Amino acid sequence: MLCSQMKVLFVALCSSMLALHVSSAPQMDELTETLQAELISDKVREEMLREKQEEEEEELGGRQRLMRRHIRFSHRERKAGCRNFFWKTFTSC
């Protein structure tokens, strides 16, 4: 008799916990809000990443232009206004 009462009590306890668990599940409105928030955060993250990549490309482009400008001329040609001829060699300023 005690064993059957324990079984009934156990089943009642499990069913009450199941009902409590189901009632705490997210409602449709909460689920929609959560999904919208995740979608917005993903869009913001993608936009920030895209902006950062564009800034890096602009920075690299400036460096490459500067390097191209300096590579075109040799060291002597870059300092053309600053060279002096002294005893068969050029001296730096």
Domain boundaries, the chain: 40-73
Reply yes or no on whether the pLDDT at 51 is more than 60.
yes
The closest of 44, 41, 22 to 33, measured between CA atoms, is: 41
pLDDT in tens, 61-84: 766 766 666 566 565 555 555 556
pLDDT for 36 equals: 84
pLDDT in tens, 20-47: 555 556 677 888 888 888 888 888 888 9
Q: Bigger pLDDT: 42 or 19? A: 42
The closest of 39, 57, 60 to 49, measured between CA atoms, is: 57
pLDDT for 83 equals: 58
8 A C-beta contact, residue 76 and residue 90: yes
